[in-house]
Structure 1
Amino acid sequence: MRIAEKLKQEIEAIQDRKSIAPYWRFLGYRAHYDEPFVVTKAWGIKTIFETYEKHIYKNDLIAGSQKGLYQDPFDDAVLRKAQEICANFEFGNFSNNFDHFAPEYERFLSEGVPGVLQRIATAMKRYENDPQKMDFLHAAELTMNGFKNLCLDYAAAAQKANKPVIAATCGNIAKKRPETFQEALQLVWLTYQAFLCENRYAMAFGRMDQYLYPFYERDIQTQRLCYEEAVELLENVFIKLYEFRHFKGADEVANICIGGVKKDGTNAVNALSYAILEAVERVRIPGPNLSARIQKQTEDQFLIKCLETIGTGIGYPALMNDEVNIPALVSAGHTLADARNYCMVGCIENFIPGKEPPWSDGRYHAPKAFEAVFNDGKCILSGQPIGRSCDLGQIKTMEDFLNAFKKQMEYLAAEYMTWFRSVNTQISVEMRAQPFLSCFCDDCLERGLDVLNGGSIYPSIHGAVCMGIGTIADSLAAVESVVFYKKKYTLMEIALALKADFQGYETLQKDLLDAPKYGNNDAFVDKYAVWYLDTCYEIFNRYRTNDGGRIYIAMGSNISNIATGALTAATPDGRNAGKPLSDAASPTYRRDKSGITAALLSCAKPDYTKAACGTVLNRKFTSGFFQNKNNLYKLGNLIRTYFDLGGQEIQINAVSRAVLKEAMLHPRDYRDLMVRVSGFSAFFVQLAPSIQEDILSRTEYND
């Protein structure tokens, strides 16, 4: 049995515990209430770094575990009080730039903990007469010293556990910059663990094959390390992402990026890119949300290896197109070198590591605009106002209809941005200070400013995830087909049918369903997918974040198409009320009936250089498809063509509908069955039935 398998068994043997992390942070806050807010917050961070139990597993090769943050029994009253106090210091979620961040690991590994502390000391001399900046720098210094002590504590714990190599490694990285592959990987992993101590989520590892490669290459050349040993160390790290599910009941979405190009534009794939693929393939857990960047220089061998890894059934890596993402990021204001160095955070969100604040995004529910058009600005389900007044009698042409629909989209976007601004102005920048994370974002220390207070090179970015491109394209095409082209129905008749959820209007519904559908390389409908993305870009490009950053758009949903579909009336594509909207950038399930090539040709037509946030395109093949090497080369060539035409991303499930049905009937027999959901992978039988049905409904290919 491999060491990683033994380690997984140790993790699975842990009894249920409750998180006591708030208690440790509370102790730090309580002892320093009378200091400036950012300093008090830093004491909470420093205290948990230095206080929680540093657990070493028997099969650890790399130290770092969440286990010490969980304990049972623990006094519930004390814990509740600690949580109440922590609530006064900790304001963070996906909407206000708390997590979904990729640190500047390349710089951190080059200077180590001492280098960061030296930069803080230099900045303190520069700003010694600026009390506010000195408070921030003092806070950053406290947290970095706390992290240094965390490393030393792990060294002591490893020594006690008779793990001399781990003890030496942790001791070294506390005192100097890393010199070996194991030391560099250990420092990255403990940094990630430190972010978990702050209750962060989806903290990305960034371009791991790039910043670790110099250490790997040097160790290989000096015969300190071989390829297999590097894979084993990576396995040891990746398997411990499995702790997240055990302790929190959900899988971590820790994105790892491999491949692509270097900052100078040359091919970035290296031996470590393959080692990471090998490691995630062996570990087989949802947690390492692996993304592989593909570009024209990418060798076929690497793309085929990615497809082989996908074919094992783990659902990743997701494949990202550099030829779209890099121009998208440049047009959004990033330098070419920074754009070439992009990675992903969370599911698929494009991010410049260590140069911008943590990511935020939300869901933009554009299909709801159909209700506003057909029901005079009101929700069909509730009767409440959701848009502008709309007189169907004034709409004489398809152009008129598009203009009316766009006005409702603009209204919904304004409402969306009002929500976003409200969330981000209720709490001051001072209250959201992030002194530890700021140490991993360029220029924060040099400027003496927090990452959310002007410290980073780029301002904050918000992603407006625009849902339902398939639903909207199909609906607009259906309206043009039956109303303005065939002139078989009026807009008022469609309005009555939508309000009745097609009860008594079954023939009309059938005609709507028979209209051209997105995903079949049909220009009649595909032009509306192009229009939708262009319109979303135009609308959201008018807005900015509170600190002047851009609003990026994405064509995604992250399974929100199910929940929002449940709140949406019938739509003109023939979809019944309450049914899921189309998934992410994908055509509506089973409407793409002309094969995978036609589907990808349709999906490549929108200009995704306008979607700087990213895109999710889900496809599903049978597992048997991946057993044939020729199929892999054919699929690889098809993906290259799709990317050459402008496709932005593709992620693939390797599982048949028959297997999914069996798993739904006999979940205990399929506990290890993994699937790609939407931007992340998960164990199929642990998903909600509605999500299982959504995955089951996806169009399936076997040739």
Structure 2
Amino acid sequence: MSTQALKEEMRQRPAGVFANYYYKYLGYREDLCAPAVKARANAVYTLFSRAGAYVYRNDLIAGSIRPLWCEKSEAELRYARSIADSFGERTFWHNADHFSPDYGSVVCDGIAGMLRKIEISKAVHADDAAKSSYLAAMQKTLEGFKNLLLSYAVEAETLQGCEGYFGDRLKRIAGNCRKLAYDAPETFEEALQLVWMCHVGFLMEGRAAMALGRMDQYLFPFYERDIKRGALTRGQAVELLENVFMKIYESRAYKDGDDVVNICIGGTDLAGKCEVNDLSYCILEAVKNCNVPGPNLSARVSSQTPDDFLDACLRVIGTGLGYPALMNDEVNIAALRRYGYEEADAYDYSMVGCIENFITGRQPPWSDGRFDTPRFFEYLFNEGRGIVHPSMGVNTGPVREISCMEDFLRKFREQLEYGAQEYYAFFNNENCRYSPARYPQPFLSCFCRDCIARAQDILEGGSKYPSVHGAALMGVGTVCDSLAAVEKVVFTDGAATLEELRDALAANFEGYEDLRKKLLAAPKYGNNDDFADKYAIWFVDTLFAIFSKFRTRDGGAFYIAMAANVSNIAAGKIIAATPDGRRAGEPLSDAASPTYGRDVRGATATLNSVSKPDYTKVACGTVLNQKFSPSMFEGEKRKKLSALLRVYFQKGGQEMQVNATSREVLKDAMAHPENYPQLVVRVSGFSALFVTLDRDVQEDILRRTQQG
């Protein structure tokens, strides 16, 4: 099959070094004194026009980052980089990537249609010099992109007759790329080729985690039309999709790191109608056949989702891939509607990066950061001072003055409020550092409504909605268990004072083993016990209220997120012992999940606990990591798992992602990694090759409670 053969081709690394900056440098030097927007357009135009093309022997859909590896001399590359770097680049915290482009419009208009829209806008804004200049920059980047398409057409034509290449494939690639340079796509293959080449363009610029969005929706009209007229079979569509998804693996093959490319399938429309279609199933089958971590597939699941589709999702998850992540459509849409988006836009949301909800093609790129909520226990117990990390909170007074749980919660909230202000200051100061005028993004802006019509940059008023930012809340399980332990041990049982607990935490429980046993014995989040679970409700309500006060530099919202990736490990290393019995340096609980090993009453109890908070207040999204034994994905057990998921979503759970690889396999892979080079597991918000993960991440996955 061409897809697996393509994977083998990608094992041969390109010569030289990754140097997209070299081609940008060539563009900058055309006019080193040009205004910022013109200089940026020159750089992008030259990058697309001169980097060249690479067509694999097994390509069905062309487009590769391989041409960006240069074999220039070290001195020449060093000089080129110095020039390019002097112009600067936006980063993740400056709204550079993690974006879901408006591919629905792109496949309808084509590049030619986008250029016509620019001409119309130029006529409307002819009297505005700044807007006219910006439109000229957008136009130049698209002209460069046309050259990129044409370079692939020429390369495919040049390779005709070369050993190992298939002439008919090269002819189709050449024809598709040449047509797309001048006309809108008409077939499924052409539309997919255009989308993938746009994605490659973003990668060439240096952007990461650029989503492919709702592929089963914007490509379905092309798929359906081709199927009806006999120009395409379902099997051919799957193979074309596989060819694209496999090339996401290029990042792993060449750069030793996975690009998290989110693809969204399923969902409902504004009328509540289920939007699952045959292409949704094709995409599921394609990612399963590829068996690589890159395509971060997300399935929007609602009460209208067919049982067959949910079953198909579980079958793919059960292979061990760990995706698609399953998203509760009703909860996510309700969460987004809080922020004033038009109804149709809220229903058209997709995901970027790991699980982040995003208004597709209508807002600037995403940004988020880590908020270590358990850290604030240190300040509460030590009058504003940190123990492990040299940081400061506010002085809420000595803990001996706290007489009840309500007072403890009030002072803990004071610490969280100050910490949120500190977080906001750090983010806002950094986010505002690069002004849109000095660091414009003319190519990216072409893919966001309504930048062309408004003749403005995506970060300077061009997008329909302002930017948003997500505060990723670390350690809900750690916080809930800590608060429950304080209430039980100190205020209910009177088994210790807050001063004794303060001293135990400072000593990392050395000499306080009996007290630690009592803290560990207190009720724990994840067992359907309201004594602990009420603090998960408090956690979401409190942090939502705190962060809702803030706005991004252009007036957008601060979302909260219950997602950690693997940051719960890094955060734990700089946080002192916590009142739940966790020792200093140990990982925090992961994302929205209970602390691993403390959810001891089975999956039903765990999901009942996790579904209790109001997740319509978590507009970014959550990550609930669950691990089920492989047998749960077989026959009748899979039906029970499907029913369990349905009930969890009906109760208000927002997301679930599953590892289906047994503990025995994981342990053996840690001992003998050479035997498991292609073992893919779900980490937290993304999947990865297990043997490439750091040891502490592997151990964190291994610690997850395996449900039977």
Same fold? TM cut 0.5: yes
Matched, 1:601 2:600: no
Tell me by how many angstroms 1:88 deviates: 2.7
Query: Residues of 1 paired with 2:520 and 2:18: CA distance?
Result: 50
- On the 8 A contact 2:94/2:434 being kept in 1, the answer is no
Residues 109-138 of structure 1: per-residue CA shift (max 9 Å, x gap)? 111111110111111111112111111111
Q: Which amino acid aligns with 2:268?
A: V
Instruction: State the partner residue of 2:89.
Output: 91
1:174-218 deviation digits (Å, cap 9, x = unpaired):
111000000000000000000011100000000000000000000
Alpha-carbon distance in 2 for matches of 1:600, 1:387: 35
Equivalent residue runs for 1:9-408 within 5 Å: 9-15=8-14, 17-71=16-70, 73-162=71-160, 163-382=170-389, 384-408=391-415
Tell me the secondary structure at the aligned position of residue 564 of structure 2. coil
Measure the CA separation in 1 of the matches of 2:271 and 2:185: 25
| Amino acid in structure 1 at the alignment position of 2:665 | V
Deviation digits for residues 257-289 of structure 1, max 9, x if unmatched? 000112443110000000000000000000000
Moved more, 560-569 or 130-139: 130-139
CA RMSD of aligned residues (A): 1.0
Q: Quote the residue 1:477 is aligned against.
A: 484
Paired AA for residue 61 in structure 2: I
CA contact (8 A) 2:405 2:491 kept: yes
SS of the residue 1:494 aligns to: helix
Letter in 1 for 2:120: T
Post-superposition shift, 1:85? Answer: 1.9
* Conservation of the 8 A alpha-carbon contact between 2:90 and 2:434: no
Q: Deviations over 1:569-628 (max 9, x none)?
A: 0000000000000000000001000000000000000100000001000000122332x2
CA contact (8 A) 1:388 1:407 kept: no
Task: Give the secondary-structure state (helix, strand or coil) at the position aligned to 1:12.
Answer: coil
Distance 2:466 2:99 in 1: 13
Larger deviation, residues 211-220 vs 86-95: 86-95
> Which residue in 2 is equivalent to 1:554?
561
Residue identity matched to 2:302: Q
Partner of 1:699: 705
Partner of 2:4: 5
Looking at structure 1, the residues matched to 253 and 428 of structure 2 have their Cα atoms a distance apart, in angstroms, of: 35
User: In structure 1, what is the Cα distance between the partners aligned to 2:704 and 2:399?
Assistant: 35
TM-score, normalised with respect to structure 1:
0.98
Match of 1:440 among 422, 447, 457: 447
1:681 aligns with 2:700: no
Provide the residue aligned with 2:163 in structure 1: none
**Contact 1:617 / 1:649 at 8 angstroms: preserved in 2?**
yes
Cα distance, 1:383 vs. partner?
Answer: 5.6
2:164 aligns with none
Query: Quick check: 1:544–1:550 contact (8 Å CA) kept in 2?
Result: yes
Given that 1:17 and 1:247 are in contact with CA atoms closer than 8 Å, whether structure 2 keeps it comes out as: no
Q: In structure 2, how many angstroms separate the alpha carbons of the residues matched to 1:16 and 1:322?
A: 45
Aligned to 2:507: 500
Match of 1:517 in 2: 524
Q: What is the alpha-carbon distance in structure 1 between the residues aligned to residue 14 and residue 596 of structure 2?
A: 41
Name the SS for the 1:102 alignment partner.
coil
CA contact (8 A) 1:202 1:252 kept: yes
Q: Which moved more, 1:518-527 or 1:238-247?
A: 238-247
Q: Tell me the equivalent position of 2:677.
A: 671
Counterpart contact for 1:91–1:431, Cα < 8 Å: no
Matched letter for residue 669 of structure 1: N
SS of 2:193's partner is helix
Change (3 A) 1:442 1:15: closer
Structure 1 residue 15: deviation in Å? 4.5
In the TM superposition, residue 16 of structure 1 has moved relative to its aligned partner by: 5.6
TM-score by length of 2: 0.98
Post-superposition shift, 1:426? 1.8
Give the whole-Å Cα distance in 2 for the aligned partners of 1:249 and 1:322.
34
Unpaired runs of at least 5, structure 2: 161-169
Alpha-carbon distance in structure 2 between the residues aligned to 1:264 and 1:453: 33
Determine which of 641, 653, 657 is the counterpart of 1:651. Answer: 657
**Shift of residue 220, structure 1, vs aligned partner:** 0.1
Distance 1:328 1:358 in 2: 19
Q: Is contact 2:13-2:254 (8 Å) kept?
A: no
Q: Which shifted more, 374-383 or 631-640?
A: 374-383
1:487 aligns with 2:486: no
Instruction: Give CA deviations for 1:474-509 in whole Å, capped at 9, x if unaligned.
Output: 000000001111111110010000000000000000
Identity %: 53
Give, in angstroms, the shift of residue 384 of structure 1: 4.5
Counterpart amino acid of residue 647 in structure 1: G
Query: Is 2:209–2:261's contact at 8 Å kept on the other side of the alignment?
Result: yes
Say which is worse superposed, 191-200 or 259-268, in terms of deviation. 259-268
Is the Cα–Cα contact under 8 Å of residues 181 and 216 in structure 1 kept in the other structure?
yes
Partner SS for 1:197? helix
Distance 2:492 2:75 in 1: 68
CA distance in 2, matches of 1:478, 1:601: 20
Amino acid of the structure 1 residue aligned with 2:582? R
Matched residues in 2 for 1:390 and 1:381: separation? 20
Supply the distance in 1 between the matched residues of 2:158 and 2:532 (Cα, whole angstroms). 67
Equivalent residue number for residue 581 of structure 1: 588
The alpha-carbon distance between structure 1 residues 388 and 38, as it changes in their structure 2 partners (threshold 3 A), is: farther
Cα distance change of structure 1 residues 74 and 386 upon mapping to structure 2, 3 Å threshold: farther
Rounded to whole Å, the distance in 2 between the matches of 1:123 and 1:617 is: 45
Please give the alpha-carbon distance, in whole angstroms, between the structure 2 residues aligned to 1:315 and 1:388: 44
SS of 2:93's partner is coil
Q: Does 1:624 align with 2:623?
A: no
Asked if the contact 1:61/1:233 (under 8 Å) is kept, the reply is: yes
Distance in 1 of aligned mates of 2:523 and 2:604: 17
Contact 1:372 1:390 in 2 (8 A): no
Pair 382,50 (structure 1): closer, same or farther in 2 beyond 3 Å: closer
Q: CA deviation at 1:387?
A: 3.3
Q: What is the distance in 1 between the residues matched to 2:389 and 2:337?
A: 43
CA distance in 2, matches of 1:623, 1:432: 49
| Contact residue 330 and residue 336 of structure 1 kept, 8 A | yes
Q: Work out the number of aligned pairs and report it.
A: 699
Q: Mind listing any 5+ residue stretches in structure 1 that lack a counterpart?
A: none
In structure 2, C-alpha distance between the alignment counterparts of 1:387 and 1:629, rounded to whole Å: 56
Q: Summarize the Cα distance change of 1:630–1:17 in structure 2 as closer, same or farther, 3 Å threshold.
A: farther
Provide the C-alpha distance between the structure 1 equivalents of 2:75 and 2:609, rounded to a whole number of angstroms.
Answer: 58
Rounded to whole Å, the distance in 1 between the matches of 2:34 and 2:133 is 9
The AA in structure 2 aligned to 1:254 is V
Runs of 4+ displaced beyond 6 Å: none
What do residues 421-447 of structure 1 show as CA deviations (whole Å, max 9, x unaligned)?
111122212122110010010111111
Q: Tell whether 2:403 aligns with 1:413.
A: no
**Alpha-carbon distance in 1 for matches of 2:502, 2:438:** 48
Shift in Å at residue 701 of structure 1?
A: 1.4
